């Protein structure tokens, strides 16, 4: 009798596990293939904490997490966990592959790095089209884009090219691509203290009275520390600022 009970418990657990992940067409840490570019795109997809509430009728929001150059897309779990807790499907994307050319170090960056950023935009657009079919219970037409450094530049360019598909933009000390001046895109940018942004990237005081943009400077924070591996106080501060932004 005890063996029968144990067997039923195991079968119940397996059934529950299958139910929980039935809506997921990709494993959490996987690779999506873009056949048109012969490109393998590493992604880390994490479901909302309360993902069972999401449905094709009542869709939950989506965030793309875009890593800084040279940092793994798996090094922003503080952000993904925060988004998951607020009902977001989080999709962390690796934009740089070993076969890609190195990030251009020549000025002006707004021109020389456009190839890199545009490749990232193409990747995001492909993932939007691909994953919106695989995850019909999530809203892929009103995206939140999150990016650190070069990942923030990619995010800002996507918002510029596809403004009607982006509702929110969050960047961690991106420094090259101009922030959107768009009354329909809510923006939070957290600024490090060791490097300035390029000209016109940030909004002027006058522009800040017109557009829904928050520019928060964090004293004693370093550009290269704005990820999981940064000091705890900084990770906690970034988490607090992002959470407050999402709640407003």
Give the pLDDT confidence of 102-138 residue by residue, as tens digits. 999 999 999 999 999 999 999 999 999 999 999 999 9
pLDDT of residue 3: 40
pLDDT of residue 27: 54
pLDDT of residue 6: 37
pLDDT of residue 33: 97
Strand (E) or helix (H) holding 90:
strand 89-93
Phi, psi of 140 (to 5 degrees): -100, 5
pLDDT reading at 86 higher than 80? yes
pLDDT reading at 15 higher than 70? no
Condensed to tens digits (0 to 9), the pLDDT of residues 16-63 reads: 333 333 333 455 789 999 999 999 999 999 999 999 999 999 999 999
Whether the bond between 110 and the residue before it is cis, its omega within 30 degrees of 0, is no
pLDDT reading at 7 higher than 80? no
Q: pLDDT averaged over the chain?
A: 91
pLDDT of residue 126: 98
For range 151-180, the mean pLDDT: 98
Q: How far apart are CA 218 and CA 225, in angstroms?
A: 12
pLDDT of residue 24: 39
Of 146, 124, 123, 149, the closest CA to residue 68 belongs to 149
Angle between helices 114-134 and 150-161 in degrees, nearest 10: 70
pLDDT of residue 29: 81
């Amino acid at each position: 009798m005890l063996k029968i009970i144990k067997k039923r418990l195991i079968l119940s657990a397996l059934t529950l596990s299958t139910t929980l992940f039935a809506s997921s067409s990709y494993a959490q840490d996987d690779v999506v293939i873009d056949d048109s570019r012969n490109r393998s795109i590493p992604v880390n997809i994490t479901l909302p904490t309360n993902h069972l509430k999401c449905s094709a009728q009542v869709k939950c929001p989506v965030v793309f997490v875009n890593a800084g150059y040279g940092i793994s897309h798996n090094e922003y779990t503080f952000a993904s966990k925060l988004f998951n807790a607020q009902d977001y499907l989080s999709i962390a994307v690796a934009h740089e592959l070993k076969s890609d050319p190195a990030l251009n170090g020549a000025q002006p960056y707004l021109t020389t790095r456009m190839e890199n950023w545009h490749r990232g935009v193409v990747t995001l657009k492909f993932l939007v089209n691909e994953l919106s079919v695989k995850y019909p219970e999530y809203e892929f037409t009103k995206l939140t884009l999150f990016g650190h450094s070069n990942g923030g530049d990619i995010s800002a360019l996507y918002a510029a090219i596809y403004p009607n598909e982006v509702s929110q933009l969050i960047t961690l000390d991106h420094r090259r691509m101009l922030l959107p001046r768009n009354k329909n895109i809510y923006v939070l940018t957290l600024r490090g203290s060791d490097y300035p942004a390029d000209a016109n990237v940030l909004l002027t005081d006058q522009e800040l009275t017109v557009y829904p943009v928050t520019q928060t400077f964090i004293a004693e924070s370093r550009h290269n520390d704005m990820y999981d591996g940064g000091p705890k106080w900084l990770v906690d501060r970034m988490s607090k600022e992002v959470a407050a932004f999402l709640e407003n």
